[in-house]
Structure 1
Amino acid sequence: MKKTYKSEIFCFVAHMLKFTKLMTLAGLLIFAGCGKDSPPATKTGTGTVVDTLAPSKVAVVALDDEVNTFMTTYNVPAVSVAITKGEKLVYLKAYGTSDKSKGTKAVISDRYRLASLSKQFTSVAIMRLLDQGKIKLDDKVFGDGALLGKTYGTKAYGPHIADITVDELLHHTSGGWGNEVNDPMFSNPGMTAAQLITWTLDNRPLDHAPGTNYDYSNFGYCILGRVIEKITGQTYEEAVKTLVLTPIGITDMTIGGNTLAQKLSKEVTYYGQSGEDPYAYQISRMDSHGGWIATAADLARLLVYIDKFPVRTDILTPSTLNIMYTGSTANAAYGCGWGINGNNYVHTGSLPGTATEQARLDNGFNFVILTNTRSWKSNFDYYLDQIFWRAYAKNPTWATDDLFIK
């Protein structure tokens, strides 16, 4: 029986093994130079129009075949795909039905729950604060003189809690509160984030000394959201928009609602499988680890501004990008919110009704895949990832124009 507290696990080891195999099959990393349902033009912080997105006009048959096979095999109502090559948006397409009850055709402006792809936005926001000199990664989080002081908790802190640093939360090495022993984020659904942090500090001691053990923790990223709020004086959502989204021209992202009645404009409907209820979770409380909704193009835009490639100026300094994409002594294959495989950086997300993936690849491609369901049928995650790699292995012809710029 599947346990609900593992609803947003990033299955890192399995994914990295899968990723290595697929990279080999694909021929490994050769660098290459991407109407009515279009969203409004996005703008930079200075008000300059950057683009008006449009769906791809010429099909990449190999990719379309893989998407359609995946959707049929796993009963997936809708998929949205964005692919960049050489920092150009070379493919942007929506497939299927965003709302089955209304028969609504999926379009590229549809917004999806990102689940754990939200963590990368939290990480980039922290890295922006690092570049601005407003935070240090070795800053302590709890206790006298720490970033959050004693705002949370009603008892004296347990062993090592006052030793936890920002760096350790980013790398999932805080010493506890992870998926190995029931991530607290999936407990106490009636509590606010602040109440949950207090409850956890009072009732859940650490399992290890900070920095010594990797354990993927949604709760750790919930704490990072509160750190961002403390430093900026803004809500987490406002701060990420100020630090990350507005500077690169993303205007359509927001934190999602919990119930079907709270579904936002241009948001898809989510469908559970195997008895799962997509609307039973506190998505808004998950803000900094799993609460964002966005289009595939939004994520593709983020990737081209943090990918270390030279066409577009990254929003983080080279040294800070290296920090973000470097693992810990406890797990060299997980950086600050990113899985690491050589010079490739990937992450997946999973909740009832949601499965997502984004990847920055050293072959000059980046890809984003968003869906409005998840399946427990065999190899679902594997074949979600294979959508891009199987198409790539067929060496299709990609567009040379840039769908970011119209």
Structure 2
Amino acid sequence: MKKTYKAGICCFAANALKFTKLIAVTGLLLFASCSKKDSPSITKTDTGTDTGTGTGTRTGTTTDTLTASKVAVAALDDEVNAFMTTYNVPAVSVAITKGEKLVYLKAYGTSDQSRGVKAAISDRYRIASLSKQITAVAIMRLLDGGKIKLEDKVFGDGGILGKTYGTKTYGPHITDITVDELLHHTSGGWNNEVNDPMFTNPTMTAAQLITWTLDNRPLDHIPGTSYAYSNFGYCILGRVIEKITGQTYEEAVKTLVLTPIGITDMTIGGNTLAQKLPKEVTYYGQDSEDPYAYNITRMDSHGGWIATAADLARFLVYIDKFPVRKDILTPSTLNVMYTGSTANTAYGCGWAIAGNNYAHTGSLPGTATEQARLDNGFNFVILTNTRSWKTKFGYDLDQIFWRSYAKNPTWSADDLFTK
């Protein structure tokens, strides 16, 4: 997580993350209010049949009855409550898996302060740049299905998108950009440090913005030679998915990724407070930030999804290489996804990498998120409905899990995915 945020930036930088906390118990390097009763249970039924092009097929009916954690984990409650107090966070949602069982699920605080609505485990949050991992897995599903190759060119004659975008002759090296380079943020330009294209021209559609950017923003480097985190690159990947599948990006991701693993509540969010969706939290800006001033819908494939913590925890257990649940990607493709580039070995296809630990953060005005797959058998998801400019905000968000874990608490013996 960056130590400072730029207004409007859906930010993350693997080289700034550096997995800063050494957990003595495991030798693992990892990056970086008031107590509430458990929330009411919700029931989810998956009757879907996998119609995607990958290998993780599954059919039949699975009923999941999600309940908030009944086993008290005082260490975690203490960390969440301290974090919320320190950084003026209205609501937090936490989901933790151990051995691919959901062993902790709890909502804290108030999801809508104006109406005094208590946070619930069924609340949906903007997940910001955690959307990139959703997009990466969709691309990997297409790779498993033989529908795409990572070395495929994206623009120009023979490219996946051809000359659909842009009104001028493409600038130097644009036709050299590959799918792999977009996934690894090594396309050569359009980074989020200065004048991120995704936060310009707010009235343009994604298609119009891609055309404008290709016409007006030349590359800074030869593709493949330099790492620069790019929201715009993942916007392009959304259009690649649309071209290959013949569906909208959202429809394609649901077909390829979400429906096969029983996720039905994730969707692309709206922009304004009036467009808030059912069970979506209200977002609160700090330091004069306005969470409702941005084109979230246009961010679809790099920052537009809304989700519950439980759904993201479910997403993780189907791509985490652990043996209990069958992953929806083949082992070889998982290895591809979790491998960095020559330009940055610490960032794979949408994931920061530290050894066999894979994680990502997300940040927008009114939003701060993190999800992590850990080699100690745990995964965790933390979602909030604000972000702070205070120096240690991102670090302390990450430490909610790690400080609790270091106290060796007792987790639920049940699998809350099915209880």
**TM range, normalised to the smaller chain?**
over 0.9
For each residue in 1:55-110, what CA deviation from the matched residue of structure 2 results, as whole angstroms up to 9, or x when unmatched? 00111000010000000000000000000000000000000000000000000000
1:4–1:186 CA contact under 8 A, matched in 2: no
**Deviation of 1:127 (Å):** 0.1
Match of 2:270? Answer: 257
**Deviation of 1:29 (Å):** 5.3
Q: How does 1:179-194 map to 2 (within 5 A)?
A: 179-194=192-207
* 1:42 and 2:45 aligned: yes
Match of 1:69? Answer: 82
**Deviation of 1:26 (Å):** 4.5
Match of 2:64? Answer: 51
1:23–1:389 CA contact under 8 A, matched in 2: no
| Paired residue type of 2:347 | Y
Identity of aligned residues (%): 81
* 1:138 and 2:151 aligned: yes
- TM-score, structure 2 length as denominator? 0.93
| Paired residue type of 2:26 | G
1:28–1:363 CA contact under 8 A, matched in 2: no
For each residue in 1:284-319, what CA deviation from the matched residue of structure 2 results, as whole angstroms up to 9, or x when unmatched? 000000000000000000100000000000000000
Count of matched residue positions in the alignment of Structure 1 and Structure 2: 398
* 1:307 and 2:307 aligned: no
For each residue in 1:146-194, what CA deviation from the matched residue of structure 2 results, as whole angstroms up to 9, or x when unmatched? 1000000000000000000000000000000012342200111010000
2:39–2:68 CA contact under 8 A, matched in 1: no
2:202–2:295 CA contact under 8 A, matched in 1: yes
Q: What are the ranges of 5 or more consecutive residues in structure 2 without an aligned counterpart?
A: 30-37, 50-58
Match of 1:123? Answer: 136
Q: How does 1:144-159 map to 2 (within 5 A)?
A: 144-159=157-172
Change (3 A) 1:142 1:170: same
Match of 1:96? Answer: 109
For each residue in 1:368-396, what CA deviation from the matched residue of structure 2 results, as whole angstroms up to 9, or x when unmatched? 00000000012000000000000001111
For each residue in 1:229-284, what CA deviation from the matched residue of structure 2 results, as whole angstroms up to 9, or x when unmatched? 00000000000000000000000000000000000000000000000000000000
* 1:287 and 2:300 aligned: yes
How far apart, in 2, do the equivalents of 1:183 and 1:262 lie? 25
Q: 4+ residue runs of structure 1 moved beyond 6 angstroms?
A: none
| Paired residue type of 1:42 | T
Match of 1:173? Answer: 186
Change (3 A) 1:106 1:141: same
Match of 1:79? Answer: 92
Which of 313, 319, 330 aligns to 2:332? It is 319
Describe the SS at the equivalent of 2:254: helix
How far apart, in 1, do the equivalents of 2:75 and 2:396 lie? 14
1:82–1:93 CA contact under 8 A, matched in 2: yes
- TM-score, structure 1 length as denominator? 0.96
For each residue in 1:210-235, what CA deviation from the matched residue of structure 2 results, as whole angstroms up to 9, or x when unmatched? 00000000000000000000000000
* 1:28 and 2:41 aligned: no
1:79–1:369 CA contact under 8 A, matched in 2: yes
Q: How does 1:348-387 map to 2 (within 5 A)?
A: 348-387=361-400
Structure with greater helix share of residues: 1
How far apart, in 2, do the equivalents of 1:25 and 1:4 lie? 36
1:79–1:96 CA contact under 8 A, matched in 2: yes
For each residue in 1:339-383, what CA deviation from the matched residue of structure 2 results, as whole angstroms up to 9, or x when unmatched? 000000000000000000000000000000000000001200000
Change (3 A) 1:238 1:360: same
**Deviation of 1:2 (Å):** 6.2
Q: What are the ranges of 5 or more consecutive residues in structure 1 without an aligned counterpart?
A: none
Match of 1:8? Answer: 10
Match of 1:230? Answer: 243
How far apart, in 1, do the equivalents of 2:307 and 2:339 lie? 26
| Paired residue type of 1:11 | A
**Deviation of 1:36 (Å):** 7.2
1:326–1:332 CA contact under 8 A, matched in 2: yes
2:100–2:324 CA contact under 8 A, matched in 1: yes
Match of 1:213? Answer: 226
Describe the SS at the equivalent of 2:271: coil
Change (3 A) 1:59 1:2: closer
| Paired residue type of 1:14 | A
Describe the SS at the equivalent of 1:179: coil
1:83–1:366 CA contact under 8 A, matched in 2: yes
Match of 2:53? Answer: none
Describe the SS at the equivalent of 2:15: helix
